[in-house]
Amino acid sequence: MCLALQKPEIIVAKEDIVCYKVMIEYPRNNGIWTSPYMGMAYREGHSYELGKKLNLLDSSKTIKEYRYRVEEGFHSFTSLSEALFFLNAFEARYPCLNRCSDASRYVVVKCIIPKGTTYAEGLFFDWGNKFLSFCSEKIICEGKIENE
């Protein structure tokens, strides 16, 4: 997942920021979710740190008005509606996970970018859609959103 930005701006959170991640839930994994792109495991109530600074890249390969990008970090969506929009697009593209297996499904997880964390805000482009997103150096997984 890659975050595209119009300006080369990295921000420090002045307060906790609520955000959302779309994950894969495997019931046999006892409450551990997996990110669909990187396959990283996340658990409710746990905090995760990148361990390095966000790296802002300047690239002519991205969309012209979104010249800058951040590739490494904890990617999340800016709102529940953006996460659900992505989830619907993802399910449409990869329907088998939810429809072919009783053992796994896509879920939305509420997260926090803690106050004082460095992050960037921009767009994630995929399947012809734009999703308002964050990329941060730290994230806390609060819990799965029920009845999404």
Over residues 117-126, the pLDDT tens digits come to 999 998 887 7
- Print the domain residue range for 49: 3-144
Burial class from Cβ neighbours inside 10 Å (0-12, 13-18, 19+) for residue 47 reads exposed
- What are the residues facing 134 on neighbouring strands? 76, 121
Classified as helix, coil or strand, 74 is strand
Q: Give which of 54, 63, 61, 55 is closest to 6, Cα–Cα.
A: 63
Least confident of 66-80, 102-116, 120-134: 120-134
pLDDT at 4: 78
Count of domains for the chain: 1
**Distance of CA 141 to CAs 17, 60, 64, 113, 137, Å?**
12, 34, 33, 9, 14
What are the residues whose beta carbons fall under 8 Å from the beta carbon of 100, sequence distance 6 or more?
none
Q: What is the mean pLDDT of the chain?
A: 83
What are the residues whose beta carbons fall under 8 Å from the beta carbon of 11, sequence distance 6 or more?
118, 119, 120, 121
Q: How confident is the model at residue 148 (pLDDT cuts 50, 70, 90)?
A: very low
Over residues 89-112, the pLDDT tens digits come to 777 766 655 555 556 788 899 999
SS3 content of the chain, % helix, strand, coil (to 5): 15, 45, 40
Over residues 24-57, the pLDDT tens digits come to 887 777 778 888 888 899 999 999 999 998 888 8
Distance CA 7, CA 67 (A): 8
Residue 131, both tokens? 């999703």
For the cut 90, the answer to whether the pLDDT of residue 60 exceeds it is no
Residue 78, both tokens? 């800016």
